[in-house]
A = this chain, B = another copy of it.
Amino acid sequence: MPEPPAGRGRPAKLDPVDVIRRKRDGERLTDADIAAFIAAYMDGAVADEQAAALCMAVFFRGMDDGETAALTKALIASGRTADLAAIPGTKVDKHSTGGVGDKTSLVLLPLLAAAGFSVAKLSGRGLGHTGGTLDKLESIPGVRVDLPPARFLDQVRRIGIAIAGQGPDLVPADGRLYALRDVTATIESPALIAASVMSKKIAGGADAIVLDVKVGSGAFMKEVAQARDLARRMLAIGRSAGRRVAAVLSDMSQPLGHAVGNAVEVAEAVATLRGDGPPDLAELCLTLAEQVGADRARLRELLRSGAALDRLTAMVEAQGGEPGALDRLPRAPVQVEVAAPASGFVTGVDALAIGRAVADLGAGRRRKEDPVDPAVGVILHRKRGDAVRAGEPLATVLARRDGEGVAAVRAAYEIGAAPPAPLPLVLEVLTG
């Protein structure tokens, strides 16, 4: 069938079955098809089963960049968009595709705020084995993440940074569609993932967006090629919406940094902002910050001077944190060391296994409504490439009950006779 000209649509009368059938048969959908389908889904004229069938057809047939941009636009059109015009300077936002021990936002964003960028970040919660920035923030005594839009904007204007949960009125179509995809095995579509992520970033109003696309066992994308494809798609969407976007592909075969959990990750972020954190975390944050135009030497100076930590402290205070909250983080009562079963070199620390172990300790949730335990977690003393002797500690488990998590953490470690080949943390950088 002849391909309709990009950007033009058929007249607006929607036949949802025809749209599903055309995608099923490998035809390209027009902007008008996609806009009408999403609008009708939101007003009830397209049923859940029809949206599910379309998502499954997209899973098999894919969507090109033009279709994905149209879907992003249609999702955004379902709700309000943030107006950051009143905020001076470059507004930046950041997204991670999700990993284990990924406290990057808590370091990167205060650092960017210290560098003079305005950080208006809307964030999500953890699900499954990956952590969420909101859960980590809420582990700080007193901190709230449910900021009304006016207060959120005022905070960005005043102190340069705010991190809050996105309200239900930002891209509501994505919320409904994501919930539908979750129960219909249609999450794993690069086009649908890209549109979902970028709809929220673009509606959030930032000028510059940096994407941290994780690759490896603890990430959604297990292979570099998949991650590169997703990054490329998100960049294309950003470009079509007139935003500056860059993507960093980073390793998630082992957890990032040493701490995995909620409060323990906050503590590690604070240490990193003091220049005293794990090198992989610091390096990733500097690389991400460079993508929005920050200068590496200047960033190092902002860490050394305490200016970056000062922005986190200011944000914690502005969002209800108790005085000295960052020094009074909760810590689970039981701390058990996991000893190395043999001498040699750590050849792998499986990120997925650690993530699941920490979730099982209570730090993660299976369903959106589940509460999370801020105080539990794991601290990794050895990571890939480190030498260890039998009996020395590999990790410490912070738990509610003795023995919990120890076997799972031990099983996540792989120890060999020879040191493994080095594995780069930053795999690729893609810019729009």
A402 within 8 A of B: no
State whether B17 touches A185 (Cβ < 8 A): yes
Chain B, residue nearest A21 (CB): B185
**Which of under 10, 10 to 19, 20 to 34, or 35 or more describes the interface residues of A?**
20 to 34
Residues of B within 8 A of A50 (CB): 52, 183-184
B residues less than 8 Å from A51 (CB atoms) = 49
Q: Which 10 A-B pairs have the closest CB atoms?
A: A53-B184, A49-B52, A56-B56, A21-B185, A20-B185, A48-B49, A52-B53, A52-B52, A60-B60, A53-B56
Q: With the chains together, A33 CA to B49 CA distance in Å?
A: 20
| In the complex, A200 has a CB within 8 A of chain B | no
Determine the distance from Cα of A24 to Cα of B61 in the docked complex, in whole angstroms: 12
CA distance A186 to B183 in the complex (A): 19
Highest count of chain B CB atoms <10 Å: which of A17, A49, A50: A49
Residues of A159-196 contacting chain B, CB below 8 A: 180, 182-186
Considering only residues 43-93 of chain A, those with a C-beta below 8 Å from chain B are: 47-53, 55-57, 59-60
CA distance A17 to B181 in the complex (A): 10
Specify the chain B residue showing the minimal Cβ separation from A18.
Answer: B185
Q: Is there contact, CB below 8 Å, between B183 and A24? A: no
For A20, list chain B residues within 8 Å (CB).
184-185
Collect the chain B residues with CB atoms within 8 Å of residue A55's CB. Answer: 53
Bound CA span A24–B185, Å: 8
CB distance from A175 to the nearest CB of B (A): 15
State the Cβ distance, A336 to closest chain B Cβ, in Å: 33
Encoded as 1 (CB less than 8 Å from any B CB) or 0, chain A from 362 to 383 comes to 0000000000000000000000
Can you list 26 contacts pairing A with B, beta carbon distance less than 8 Å?
A17-B182, A17-B184, A17-B185, A20-B184, A21-B185, A24-B56, A24-B59, A24-B185, A47-B48, A47-B183, A48-B49, A49-B51, A49-B52, A49-B180, A49-B183, A50-B52, A50-B183, A50-B184, A52-B184, A53-B55, A53-B56, A53-B184, A53-B185, A53-B186, A56-B56, A56-B60
